[in-house]
Structure 1
Amino acid sequence: KEFLEDRDKVQISVIFRGRELAHIDEGEKVLNYIVERLAELGKVEGGISRQSRRLICTFVPK
């Protein structure tokens, strides 16, 4: 919250290890929860992307 309030971009990553890769949907739930909580301060730039073992989304302030 502090970074978005200071008008900075924020990148959120969920990193999966080992067997966690079988539960990527759980990681998406976590990211969507964070997106909902921070919706009043900013918006997601480019959506949620998957890069190998990571889910990544970038927030920009409103």
Structure 2
Amino acid sequence: MGQWIFGAIMGVLSLFGLFIASRSHDQIFYAFGLLLFLFGLGFVFWLIARNTGHPRSRSEQHGH
């Protein structure tokens, strides 16, 4: 259950990053907002892959 909450928090953090990027008047804040969005989105996808049993490599599937 804790991973669901953590995923939701990262989703909100990603949306906050987009909000920062859309309202920025400076290139630094724009880049920071986009990087925050990409970090949060990547982390959510990592959580999805980790919790759905996505195999990392073929060698782990065969038990080698």
Range of TM-score over shorter length: 0.3 to 0.5
Length-normalised TM-score, structure 1: 0.35
* Greater strand share, structure number: 1
* Greater helix share, structure number: 2
Higher relative contact order structure (alpha carbons within 8 Å, sequence separation ≥ 6): 1
Length-normalised TM-score, structure 2: 0.34
Q: Which one has a bigger Cα radius of gyration?
A: 2
